[in-house]
Structure 1
């Protein structure tokens, strides 16, 4: 029987080197089952050989043949022991012993190999667990990637929809841009025409400005002549006032025949080179009452700049107070004053109401 020898790569196995262990695991895998079966068979054969060898030795000792007893049998039977059979038996025993030693060596090698495979199996089990853990992690990552892929697919679909909508909008905008370009060209043409018209109008305006300047010169001359005529009228009137104006105390007074707001009334007086009447005494107010007869008239008194701070139109403060009892009350935002001839007193009113008015002008003596 031939002895079983371990492969040199198996005898030099180093579990500390992971790369070599992986190669060895790939190399051992096909022979693991065969090695286990061979070990079991070796044990069975060794047991059988030991039993057979024991029985054979026991029979050789306890059952001597007539030819093996050299002392007694030589005398009685006179035969000679067959030394050839004894040598043959000894040779057989040596062969059995040799085979037993070889089987023992083989069994020892198989036990060492079994221990090696057991150690290798531990490392393989540990690696299998690590690989299982890696596989679980990879499975989780795969699931996460699958979920992420689904989300990305949904986003891609949404982006595709948005892209389609944007493409449609782009096409509409391109069409609109064509129409707008056409309109812009038309507007450019119109603008060019308007520019030409503007230049013509500018030329016409320059001509009109020249004419206006000439007319202004003429108007200044007419105004000068009018002032001269007014001065002649004052001198011809004897009192120094224009026709329609009443002289009193060195001033001229004008009573309107129509009604206007306080501001419009004052503007009419200013156009006549006068202003709304300023009353400095009761005697002057009595003159205006008679002059105005029974009509309520605007006078040049207001508090539009500061509430309850009444001033005359020339900026002077109100030194004389001839208010009607309970006035001024400012019930309806009343910032302008009127003269009521019936009571010969003043009353505050909203400036937007319409009343007759009295203008006052200083007499210019020469």
Structure 2
């Protein structure tokens, strides 16, 4: 009988130990909280920081799964600050593009604009060499608008304007008489040089030998084709012979005229008013 009681006591103790272990396991499961439960608790309770004495405890105490970016009071993520930064950067880039566009336009206007008229640097002051605007020419010549239009009018393609006369330096070669006929066909005649300014201008513009409107056909005196007196002379000191004059533009302007045979084929200079 004694042995049966001991067995019963041991069975009771074993049963009691199992029951206590089961209770302990249940208590542990009740105390264990999952991250999802904590997150739901945060949502349900509203602001979890109000129940803490130190807000930093919440940041470091919560599991990493429920940590998030800084939120506003209404619970939305603060991305507006980044948007504002992006807008400021975009505005600055837009302003820079506008400034660059303005600079490019100014450069284009300066490059394509009309250049100021150039004045010959000679002993005697001469009018502009290049074609000017009407206002500029009126300032230079100090003449009425009608005469200014005549002085600064368009000579035509291939012609050069100097003072009140247009000049054409040919590329093809003809005899003296054929050159004169070609100039007449163009509305002018062979060039007549009556002053140092014209002589310097034509010598600088050309680099070949050109027929000019000076000859002595039928007489021994050199005369211009427009019957103008030969007041200035720029003959070269040589022993050339001929009845028609040429301008050697590749020689010093002070001594660039020479006589030549009229049937030679040379370039020529036309002029018209």
TM-score bracket relative to the smaller structure: 0.3 to 0.5
TM-score between the two structures when normalised by the length of structure 2: 0.42
TM-score between the two structures when normalised by the length of structure 1: 0.32
